[in-house]
Structure 1
């Protein structure tokens, strides 16, 4: 297992911690969850950098990285539904897009052609998702909860836009 893949796998370890601290969180546990989330989100950039820099791009890494990214985003969103911070249907919109793109990536035709990398829309989606989740996890006073909600809905919109751009047939 390469160093880049180990970094990716370490991001997966954040998910159970997030879920544990978000069961019935105190303000301290929310801050801990936020810290772990941001640290794990930062490793997403790091594993890609290490893989390219050390020439450690691997099939396992290409498979694990997007999967772990989705788990890191969806776990706190689902916990926030349980805490009644977010509506389930909003999180479902993100989940549905992520499953559609993940399913598309494993189609034999796309596998033969090579899976395209993240585009500008995908990077914007990820950035806004991370921002929204961070704001939603942080126990901040008004007006921050409202800003967090707006960020979440912006993330939903960007998630769908990036999904349409990714799945829309490209003319050759």
Structure 2
């Protein structure tokens, strides 16, 4: 039987195809305009569902720890849900022409690399907890992806490329946090060599 925390995590996984659907299928729901700058309602729905799904990440972990519901299933599903959500959104943004493929590859590669490091550590009975940089990285990626889904709406109106600024920051912090994980946990790799 699934506990509440695991149900929330599964909900995040089930929201992934919904985000992709509203990003990639051109529904004719109309557009939303603010002072001449507009975006499609479909993109607003995609961004809303993406943000909703991303916000459940902290919630499921908090509930699991607070109510002592930490399970092996949850330890497996939570990082999987995070990576599915971000990877699916990035790949969809590449398909939409709003993101260069190399940027998606950098971010997704870092996720695979850190996951691999965690698996090697887990085989030795060690747990590599999320770092502060890792948490900042997650927030930066969520902000950048949401702005890219919205095509920088409504910041286009004031000529502020906040989507590109946040994407640049997300890529830098993604790389830095990945290096940080490997540096702080180099003993895991050195021991296995």
TM normalised by structure 2 equals: 0.82
- Which sits farther off after the overlay, 112-121 or 136-145? 136-145
**1:63-74 correspondence to structure 2 within 5 Å:** 63-74=76-87
- Structure number with higher strand proportion: 2
Q: May I ask how many residue pairs the two structures share in their alignment?
A: 171
**Deviation (angstroms), 1:122:** 0.2
RMSD over aligned Cα atoms: 1.8
* Partners of 1:16 and 1:68 in 2: CA distance: 12
Match in the other structure for 1:157: 172
1:1-172 matched pairs, under 5 angstroms: 1-25=2-26, 27-107=40-120, 109-139=121-151, 140-141=153-154, 142=156, 143=158, 146-170=161-185
Q: TM-score, normalised by structure 1?
A: 0.92
- Structure 1: which 5+ residue stretches go unaligned? none
> For each residue in 1:95-152, what CA deviation from the matched residue of structure 2 results, as whole angstroms up to 9, or x when unmatched?
1111111112112x44324221111100110010011111111241415772101211
Gaps in structure 2 of 5+ consecutive residues? 28-39, 188-193
* Higher-Rg member (1/2): 2
